[in-house]
Amino acid sequence: MVIDALAIRPGLRIAEIGAGEGYWLPWLAAAVGPEGRVYAVEVRADKVEALMKLVEDAGYDNVEVVFGRYDDPRLPDRAVDLAITSKTYHHIEDRVAYFANLRGDLSADGRVAHLDDRPDMPFPLSWIMSGHTSDPAAIDQEMTQAGYRRVEAFDFLYTQSFSIYQPIAVED
């Protein structure tokens, strides 16, 4: 359902920021197909290594693992059609600066999607996930400050918010 909602078509160039153990990679690699590209961005050396092994073992020719910095995903300029964070938004420190900088990595009609656990999930999940959630209103506010507008929001995930943003065009 997430992949469908993201309207991923073959040939798209996608970056997953905070790819972790690579949960999304099989879905993303299959959705963009051989002509597409998936950049799996991670900041932890052990996870980068594990992701590289996963990519090699699975034979994903269209996935590139990127050793990002905490304040910069180190993606190629203007080359990303869709950047995704999943359970990662709350990990990023200066989010306004981070996503303002990311605008330079997006293609002309590039999008940014955030999936993250909501703080208002039912107890005891709210207690277990305490400190690992993002308030959807705060995501909206920070993304607006970073120069984006929300273009879509979905409510089919039980504990997570899921919204898509696009950069606000700069008037000449």
Residues in contact with ligand SAM, total (CB under 6 A)? 17
Distance between CA atoms of residues 131 and 91, nearest Å: 10
Q: Which stretch binds ligand SAM (CB under 6 A): 1-9, 14-22, 121-129, 136-144?
A: 14-22
Residues paired with residue 14 on neighbouring β-strands, in sequence order? 38, 82
Edge-first strand order for the sheet with 160-167 is: 63-67, 37-42, 13-17, 80-86, 106-117, 160-167, 148-154
Shortest CA distance to 75 belongs to which of 40, 108, 50, 110? 40
Shortest distance (Å) from residue 138 CB to ligand SAM = 17
Does position 20 interact with ligand SAM (CB under 6 A)? The reply is yes
Shortest distance (Å) from residue 92 CB to ligand SAM = 4
Shortest CA distance to 115 belongs to which of 18, 46, 31, 41? 18
Does position 87 interact with ligand SAM (CB under 6 A)? The reply is yes
- What are 16's two structure tokens? 């997953």
Shortest distance (Å) from residue 171 CB to ligand SAM = 30
Does position 91 interact with ligand SAM (CB under 6 A)? The reply is yes
Q: Toward ligand SAM, which CB reaches closer, 23 or 35?
A: 23
Encoded one letter per residue, x for contact with ligand SAM by CB under 6 A and - for no contact, window 29-58 reads: ------------xxxx--x-----------
What is the CA angle 123-19-141, rounded to 5? 60
Q: Where along the sequence are the contacts to ligand SAM (CB under 6 A)? A: 17-20, 23, 41-44, 47, 68, 70, 86-88, 91-92
